[in-house]
């Protein structure tokens, strides 16, 4: 066999080996993936720290405006809460009457974002909680503002979360105003889209979208985002909406993993 | 063995650079520094070291990605092989412009290969790939490639001396 031919065979084998890697079961490679993240993430965090702080200073105006609007929202909610106080008291009395045992619906664990996928193809982050903290694959991840994503891979003390804007993410969504139900999934443009809404459905720009009870993974009523644009798809006779996520996913630092219902 | 470690180190530096760009500028300035490094190793150190560089590049991207393991390793290895063929037609020894052109062609091919492999597993809109992946990546890689190739050359001269 000539040397050139032997070389060609070796190169072909390398490529075939790489292709076969695609079919490796996820469970066998997950610990290896997380050990690479473990090795690379710390130096990256050290290097990125001054850049992140600088970014915060540059974006101080946006943060300040956000702070002002949230403060305003807190005041409105506090007012509403005072009004609702009487109703809560009445509800408590009735609950006692019925011997209703109140308990916490969800338990959750807080986590810090320690890494993210730098490519434009995927939207995912790495969090510092894993199997040891009760985090498991498929658990919903949220922040104070709404849905963040879903746990996709998990190791002993780290987990990978597929964000709301990743093309492989999907959740049943509901238009809050008109109660129309559709499927919310990610896109490559860091936004979400809502599909399978009937052509006569009542959807407007600015409508709030929340998780629906049809979703098996997410609790009902979590904020997903607001409708930015509405398109009528003439081919499939359905309406498609572009949604701006409620959570600023590029500035995510802390999240909550919802463990059970 | 020392060469492997040096290639791994240089690829880790390029990955960190990509990470910093993604954190700072978001989706609109995202040069494919790892692809530049793979092309660099192919031009200056030969196909074997280019394959090792492609493996490290894919390994790092696969570790941070929620996609199946091996996706980026496969894509980068194919790109490393293709560089050998494409450079026969595009690259002229000693010409800086042709190096940049080669990087641009390979960046384009890298996105296209990723699209073809990805579309087998996930529903991806080609229009969005062009608008939100190819254009930003192609333009930003073209802008920085001359500078990055020069820095990689200086770095390699010291590390592989």
- Estimate the crossing angle of helix B96-119 against helix B71-90, to 10 degrees: 140
Q: Does A6 touch chain B (CB under 8 A)?
A: no
pLDDT of residue A96: 65
Do the Cβ atoms of A22 and B68 come within 8 Å? Answer: yes
Question: With 70 as the cut, is the pLDDT of residue B103 above it?
Answer: yes
**DSSP class of B129:** I
Alpha carbons A115 and A158: distance in angstroms, whole number: 10
Please name which of A58, A89, A146, A21 lies closest in space to residue B67, comparing C-alpha atoms. A21
| ipTM score of complex | 0.80
pLDDT of residue A102: 45
The number of residues making up chain A comes to: 261
pLDDT of residue A260: 65
pLDDT of residue A221: 85
A68: in domain? no
A240 and A174 in a single domain? The answer is yes
Alpha carbons A164 and B87: distance in angstroms, whole number: 40
A237 and A176 in a single domain? The answer is yes
pLDDT tens-digit series, residues A154-166: 988 889 999 999 8
A256: in domain? yes
pLDDT of residue A180: 86
Out of A55-59, A192-196, B90-94, B110-114, the most confident range is B110-114
| A94, two tokens | 């009735």
Chain B residues with CB inside 8 Å of A24's CB? 68-70
For range B13-30, the mean pLDDT: 86
Size of interface A-B (CB pairs under 8 A): 125
A125 and A190 in a single domain? The answer is no
A254 and A233 in a single domain? The answer is no
A162 and A111 in a single domain? The answer is yes
A181 and A227 in a single domain? The answer is yes
Contact A166, A141 (CB under 8 A): no
Do the Cβ atoms of B60 and A43 come within 8 Å? Answer: no
Question: With 90 as the cut, is the pLDDT of residue B77 above it?
Answer: yes
For range B76-103, the mean pLDDT: 89
pLDDT of residue A252: 83
What is the DSSP code string of B92-144? -TT-HHHHHHHHHHHHHHHHHHHHHHHHTTS---HHHIIIIIIHHHHHHHHHH
The answer for residues whose C-beta is within 8 angstroms of residue A202's C-beta and 6 or more apart is A175, A177, A178, A180
In A168-227, the residues whose Cβ lies within 8 Å of chain B are 168, 187-190
A179: in domain? yes
Which residues lie across from A127 on neighbouring strands?
A: A113, A159
| B126, two tokens | 């080609």
- Percentage, residues of chain A above pLDDT 90: 10
CATH number at residue A221: 2.40.10.350
Residue from B5, B19, B59 to probe the interface with A (highest A Cβ count within 10 Å): B19
| A102, two tokens | 């109140």
pLDDT tens-digit series, residues B35-56: 999 999 999 888 888 999 999 9
Beta strands in chain B (DSSP E): none
Contact B8, B56 (CB under 8 A): yes
Domain count, chain A: 2
A115 and A236 in a single domain? The answer is no
pLDDT of residue B91: 85
pLDDT of residue A103: 45
A225 and A179 in a single domain? The answer is yes
pTM of the model as a whole: 0.80
Residue with tokens 């664990």: A109
pLDDT tens-digit series, residues A70-79: 888 888 888 7
Contact B19, A44 (CB under 8 A): yes
| B157, two tokens | 């001269």
Query: E strand or H helix at A51, and its extent?
Result: helix A26-58
Question: Is 1.10.1760 the CATH number for B2-159?
Answer: yes
Do the Cβ atoms of B136 and A121 come within 8 Å? Answer: no
A176 and A198 in a single domain? The answer is yes
A133 and A237 in a single domain? The answer is no
A98: in domain? no
The answer for residues whose C-beta is within 8 angstroms of residue A160's C-beta and 6 or more apart is A124, A125, A126, A127, A151, A152, A153, A154, B66
- From the list B63, B77, B123, the residue facing A15 with the nearest CB is B77
Contact B80, B61 (CB under 8 A): no
pLDDT of residue B82: 92
Question: With 50 as the cut, is the pLDDT of residue A101 above it?
Answer: no
Chain B residues with CB inside 8 Å of A20's CB? 70
Q: How confident is the model at residue A7 (pLDDT cuts 50, 70, 90)?
A: confident
pLDDT tens-digit series, residues B125-145: 888 889 888 999 999 999 999
The answer for residues whose C-beta is within 8 angstroms of residue B25's C-beta and 6 or more apart is none
Contact B46, B155 (CB under 8 A): no
A191 and A225 in a single domain? The answer is yes
Please name which of A172, A184, A258 lies closest in space to residue A214, comparing C-alpha atoms. A172
What is the DSSP code string of A135-171? --TT-EEEETTEEEEEEEEE-SS-EEEEETTSTT-EE
User: In terms of pLDDT, which residue wins out, B93 or A86?
Assistant: B93
pLDDT of residue A56: 80
A148: in domain? yes
**DSSP class of A237:** T
CATH number at residue A152: 2.40.10.340
- Percentage, residues of chain B above pLDDT 90: 40
A67: in domain? no
Q: Which domain holds residue A198?
A: 170-246
A150 and A204 in a single domain? The answer is no
**DSSP class of A131:** G
Question: With 90 as the cut, is the pLDDT of residue B105 above it?
Answer: yes
Question: With 60 as the cut, is the pLDDT of residue A261 above it?
Answer: no
Q: Does A52 touch chain B (CB under 8 A)?
A: yes
């Amino acid at each position: 066999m000539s040397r050139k031919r032997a070389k060609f065979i070796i190169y072909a084998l390398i490529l075939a080996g790489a292709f076969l890697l695609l079919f490796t079961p996820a469970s066998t490679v997950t610990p290896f993936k997380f050990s690479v993240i473990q090795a690379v993430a710390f130096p990256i965090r050290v290097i990125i720290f001054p850049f992140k702080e600088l970014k915060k200073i540059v974006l101080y105006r946006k943060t300040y405006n956000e702070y002002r609007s949230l403060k305003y929202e807190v005041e409105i909610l506090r007012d509403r809460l005072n009004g609702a106080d009487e109703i809560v008291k009445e509800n408590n009395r009735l609950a006692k009457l019925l011997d209703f045992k109140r308990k916490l619906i969800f338990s959750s664990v807080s986590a810090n974002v320690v890494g993210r996928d730098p490519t434009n193809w995927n939207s995912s982050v790495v969090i510092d909680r894993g199997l040891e903290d009760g985090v498991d694959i498929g658990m919903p991840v949220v922040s104070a503002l709404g849905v963040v994503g879903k746990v996709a891979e998990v190791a002993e003390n780290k987990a990978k979360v597929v964000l709301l804007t990743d093309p492989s993410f999907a959740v049943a969504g509901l238009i809050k105003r008109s109660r129309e139900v559709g499927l919310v999934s990610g896109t490559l443009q860091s936004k979400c889209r809502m599909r399978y809404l009937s052509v006569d459905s009542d959807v407007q720009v600015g409508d709030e979208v929340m998780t629906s009870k049809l979703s098996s993974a997410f609790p009902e009523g979590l904020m997903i985002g607001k409708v930015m644009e509405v398109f009528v798809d003439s081919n499939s006779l359905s309406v498609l909406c572009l949604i701006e996520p409620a959570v600023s996913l590029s500035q995510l630092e802390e999240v909550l993993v919802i463990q059970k219902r | 063995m020392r060469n492997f470690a040096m290639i791994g180190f240089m690829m880790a530096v390029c990955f960190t650079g990509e990470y910093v760009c993604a954190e700072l500028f978001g989706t609109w300035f995202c040069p494919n520094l790892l692809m530049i490094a793979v092309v660099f190793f192919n031009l200056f150190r030969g196909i074997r070291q280019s394959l090792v560089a492609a493996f490290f590049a894919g390994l790092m991207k696969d570790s941070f990605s929620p996609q199946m393991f091996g996706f980026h390793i496969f894509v980068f290895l194919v790109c490393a092989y293709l560089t050998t063929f494409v450079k026969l037609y595009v690259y002229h020894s000693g010409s800086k412009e042709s190096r940049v052109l080669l990087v641009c062609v390979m960046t384009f091919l890298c996105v296209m290969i990723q699209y073809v492999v990805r579309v087998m597993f996930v529903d991806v809109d080609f229009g969005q790939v062009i608008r939100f992946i190819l254009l930003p990546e192609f333009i930003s890689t073209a802008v920085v490639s001359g500078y990055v190739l020069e820095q990689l050359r200086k770095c390699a001269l010291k590390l592989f001396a």
